[in-house]
């Protein structure tokens, strides 16, 4: 791997030199450059990368940047080279393969739901200790909700391709490694299961004990938003807050318009999803009880900053 590291930095130096006096910098492209650093980002010993990169005249910050750009973000965090609080808003970060659930749940600093960063901050701001959470689709959010909310139930149909048909078993095995207040409550059910309908959730899982947060993710989000949108419009007095992930998809448009016509409070949180994609996405909140979105902090300085700096992008 030593020769591969040398070749990568040698090519990077050639790239810089070739473009130095070019009137259109960056147009002289080395197609192999990205391929070589993708290999380093995933396979190479990081200390060796920094040692050899330094011998080619590259500063540590430059090496960090190119490694992050090519997929080493999680590895750099795990090695203690990066601190999440200082860089969680980088536009360029991504991971070329789906982040392993085992990695994420064993790193408490990134125990956060995979929703946009500003939506994460809203959850920290409002606090969930007096919430029952019911989510469609389990994942990192499940571990977060299980530790933050009074109780969390998760419908899972194991259709997520990242789980290769065994996502529930992955969730259960990793929950053992979590020092959370309550165990996760997985309910095996497909979207058309009657237990997934709002009336059943309210009767069997919530029972009106506190506030209710419905997290809409998983395989059939459009159906779930349609069902819950209609339910909260017809039951506007109930303290129910909807969280809709990937709300930028067109299939949600009619339901959002219906909610808006019913005077629902809707907040769209645009931005990056932590550690996964460069593409901007959206996570939305909707409720007929806007007080549910009132934060508990009196000023930004009192905000829960467990994941680092607040989202100022």
Residue 167 lies in a domain: yes
- Please tell me the distance from the alpha carbon of residue 236 to that of residue 240, in angstroms, as a whole number: 8
Q: What are 224-278's pLDDT values in tens digits?
A: 999 999 999 999 999 999 999 999 988 999 999 999 999 999 999 998 776 554 5
The pTM assigned to this predicted structure is 0.76
Q: What are 38-93's pLDDT values in tens digits?
A: 889 889 999 999 999 999 999 998 898 888 777 787 788 888 888 766 666 554 44
Asked if 15 and 131 sit in the same domain, the reply is no
pLDDT band at 94 (very low <50, low <70, confident <90, very high): very low
- Please tell me the distance from the alpha carbon of residue 262 to that of residue 189, in angstroms, as a whole number: 30
Residue 45 lies in a domain: yes
Residue 97 lies in a domain: no
Residue 249 lies in a domain: yes
Residue 288 lies in a domain: yes
* CATH assignment at residue 239: 3.40.50.150
Asked if 135 and 75 sit in the same domain, the reply is no
- Please tell me the distance from the alpha carbon of residue 132 to that of residue 128, in angstroms, as a whole number: 8
- The tally of domains found in the chain comes to 2
Lay out the sheet containing 211-216: strands in order across: 185-188, 151-156, 131-136, 211-216, 240-244, 281-287, 265-271
Asked if 122 and 69 sit in the same domain, the reply is no
Distinct helix (H) and strand (E) counts, the chain: 13, 7
Q: What pLDDT does 170 receive? A: 81
Structural domain of 9: 2-82
Total residues belonging to the chain: 313
């Amino acid at each position: 791997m030593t020769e591969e590291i040398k070749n990568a930095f040698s090519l990077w130096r050639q790239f810089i030199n070739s473009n130095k006096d070019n009137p259109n910098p960056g147009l002289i492209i080395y197609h192999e450059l990205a391929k070589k650093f993708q290999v380093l980002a995933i396979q190479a010993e990081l200390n060796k990368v920094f040692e050899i990169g330094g011998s080619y005249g590259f500063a540590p910050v430059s090496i960090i940047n190119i490694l992050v750009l090519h997929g080493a973000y999680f590895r750099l965090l795990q090695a203690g080279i990066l601190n999440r609080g200082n860089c969680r808003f980088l536009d360029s970060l991504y991971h070329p393969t789906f982040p392993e659930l085992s990695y994420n749940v064993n790193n408490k600093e990134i125990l956060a739901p995979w929703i946009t960063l500003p939506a994460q901050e809203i959850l920290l701001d409002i606090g969930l200790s007096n919430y029952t959470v019911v989510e469609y689709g389990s994942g990192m959010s499940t571990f977060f909700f299980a530790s933050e909310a009074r109780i969390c139930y998760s419908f899972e149909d194991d259709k997520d391709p990242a789980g290769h048909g065994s996502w529930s078993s992955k969730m259960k095995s990793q929950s053992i490694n979590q020092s959370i207040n309550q165990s996760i409550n997985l309910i095996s059910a497909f979207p058309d299961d009657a237990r997934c309908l709002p009336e059943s959730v309210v009767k069997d899982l919530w029972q009106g004990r506190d506030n209710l947060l419905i997290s809409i993710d998983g395989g059939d989000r459009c159906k779930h938003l349609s069902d819950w949108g209609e339910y909260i419009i017809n039951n506007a007095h109930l303290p129910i807050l909807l969280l809709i992930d990937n709300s930028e998809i067109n299939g949600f448009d009619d339901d959002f318009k219906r909610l808006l016509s019913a005077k629902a409070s809707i907040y769209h949180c645009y931005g990056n999803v932590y550690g996964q994609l460069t593409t901007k996405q959206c996570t939305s909140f909707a409720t007929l009880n806007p007080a549910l979105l009132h934060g508990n902090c009196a000023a930004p300085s009192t905000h829960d900053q467990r994941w680092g700096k607040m989202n100022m992008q």
